[in-house]
Amino acid sequence: GENVEQHPSTLSVQEGDSAVIKCTYSDSASNYFPWYKQELGKRPQLIIDIRSNVGEKKDQRIAVTLNKTAKHFSLHITETQPEDSAVYFCAASMDALNFGKGTSLLVTP
Amino acid sequence: SQTIHQWPATLVQPVGSPLSLECTVEGTSNPNLYWYRQAAGRGLQLLFYSVGIGQISSEVPQNLSASRPQDRQFILSSKKLLLSDSGFYLCAWSVHRRTEAFFGQGTRLTVV
C-alpha cells in the first residue's frame, strides 16, 4: 500500500512566523493529497487539499505545494497564530487515505 | 446534511474480551467507509476500508476484523482483545476513495 512519510514530528514557531511541514509518498498512482488538522481531543478536520493535476493551492494563510516527480508535498502556514497550534496530518490517496504520522505544531505568543 | 455517528466514546475492556465498535453514516448513499487507529507517535493508521456492502479491504494484519452489514453501517470487531489493541479508533466516510474523508468522534479503547 501507500507509504507516507511526514517531517518534522514536532515544530515550534513564534507567533507571526511561518511553518512548513513536508511529506513524501511512495505510490505514483496516488492523486489526492489532503491535509488535516487535529486539535486536542477532537477529530481530524480537512484544512486544504490538492490533486495531482495542480502544483500549488492557497487558501488565505495556508498553502500546499505538490511535486509529482519527486513525490513530495508540503504545507505552508504563514503569519502563524496561537490557534494554529494542533497536530497536522498529511495524507495520500490511491484506494484509501494513508496518513503520515503527524506534526505537532506549537505557536508561542 | 451528512452526519457520522460512532459509539461508544470511551471503552475499558479486559484482555481476552470481545470488541464491537459501531459506526453509522446518515444523509448519503453508498459511502466509502474507513476504520483508523490512532496511537501515540504513530499517527492515523488505516485498518480497514469498504467501498460497498460486504466488501472489506484490510491494510494491516492484526487481531481485528471489520464488517459492513448495511450500506451505511461499519463495524469493527475482535474476538479476543490484546493489550496492544488499546488506542483511539476513528471511523470515517467519503463520497469517493479520493475525496475528503469525514471523521467520527472516535472511541478511546483501553485494554486492561
Please say whether the beta carbons of A38 and A44 come within 8 A.
yes
pLDDT of amino acid A75: 98
Distance CA A43, CA A105 (A): 16
Q: What is the pLDDT of residues A33-57, one digit of tens each?
A: 999 999 988 899 999 999 988 899 9
pLDDT for residue B40? 73
Residues of B in contact with A44 (CB under 8 A): 44, 90, 103
* Stretch B69-78: mean pLDDT: 96
The share of chain A scoring above pLDDT 90, in percent, equals 89
Q: What is the per-residue pLDDT for B60?
A: 78
Q: What SS3 class is residue B101?
A: coil
State residue B2's pLDDT score.
Answer: 81
Which pLDDT score, from 0 to 100, does residue B41 have? 64
Q: Name the amino acid, one letter, at B24.
A: T
Average pLDDT over residues A90-99: 91
Of B41, B45, B7, B12, the closest CA to residue B24 belongs to B7
Q: What is the mean pLDDT of residues B56-73?
A: 90
Confidence at B49, pLDDT banded by 50, 70, 90: very high
Helix (H, G, I), strand (E, B) or coil at B84: helix
Q: Return the top range by mean pLDDT from A8-12, B54-58, B84-88.
A: A8-12
Nearest CA in chain A to B107: A43
Model confidence band, residue B97 (pLDDT cutoffs 50, 70, 90)? confident
**Is B83 in a helix, a strand, or coil?**
helix
Rounded CA-CA distance A9/B49 in Å is 26
Tell me the average pLDDT of chain A.
95
User: Hey, is the C-beta of B35 within 8 angstroms of any chain A C-beta?
Assistant: no
Contacts of A97 in chain B (CB under 8 A): 34, 46, 92, 94, 101
Contact B101 A49 (CB under 8 A): no
